[in-house]
Amino acid sequence: MSVFDKVIAARLARGIVTRPIEYEKSGAELKDLVAAKFSRSFFIREVDTGSCGACESEIISATNPLYDLQRFGISFVASPRHADAMLVTGPVSKNMVLALKKTYDAMPEPKLVISAGDCALNGGVFKSSYYIAGGVNAILPVTLHIPGCPPTPLTLVKALLSLIKRRC
């Protein structure tokens, strides 16, 4: 048992919420697939097109020390030129349409687009707003949609696992 496992066990004894065992199993499978198919990390460029910030909070929590998505070979990058996939959150506001298209155009082939959250699917609670162009699929071809409002780190890992199994 590692020091980290002892800390997790101590937190469980006190009733503090920790990552589920299912996350570890899915993450280990994801790590093996990423290593086999990419022989490096799977790089993601995240784009917020007008969200409330909840999806970004869950994405950030997936990279914190508790979940540590990077240990499974998933890394977020600043440039779309280095990205294997684009992760889009939020409804696409009209002022983000051009930026979203330019980010997509800057990506190398194959261009994988992942929409995350209910707003990215169809505009969510914002869909009737005058300033929403729609969901991501109205602007770009979406490869995978991750449901939820917001999607949890476990949901993100399972979705990335299914994407890499299917497409890469």
* CATH code for position 98: 3.40.50.12280
In a domain, 10, yes or no: no
Q: What is the pLDDT of residue 4?
A: 47
Domain count, the chain: 1
Side-chain half-sphere exposure of 46, counting CA atoms within 13 A: 19
Q: What is the pTM of this model?
A: 0.85
Q: What is the pLDDT of residue 83?
A: 96
In a domain, 61, yes or no: yes
Q: What is the per-residue DSSP string for 73-111?
A: TEEE-S-GGG-SEEEEES-EEGGGHHHHHHHHHHSPSS-
pLDDT category at 167 given cuts 50, 70, 90 is confident
In a domain, 26, yes or no: yes
In a domain, 137, yes or no: yes
pLDDT in tens, 108-128: 999 999 999 999 999 988 888
Q: What is the pLDDT of residue 19?
A: 62
Say if residue 35 is exposed, middle or buried (CB neighbours under 10 Å; 0-12, 13-18, 19+): middle
In a domain, 133, yes or no: yes
Q: What is the pLDDT of residue 168?
A: 63
Predicted confidence (pLDDT) at residue 2 exceeds the cutoff of 80? no
Q: What is the pLDDT of residue 128?
A: 87
pLDDT, mean of residues 86-90: 97
In a domain, 15, yes or no: no
Predicted confidence (pLDDT) at residue 52 exceeds the cutoff of 70? yes
In a domain, 3, yes or no: no
Mean pLDDT (the chain) is: 88
Residue 143 lies in domain: 20-167
Predicted confidence (pLDDT) at residue 73 exceeds the cutoff of 90? yes
pLDDT, mean of residues 142-165: 93
In a domain, 67, yes or no: yes
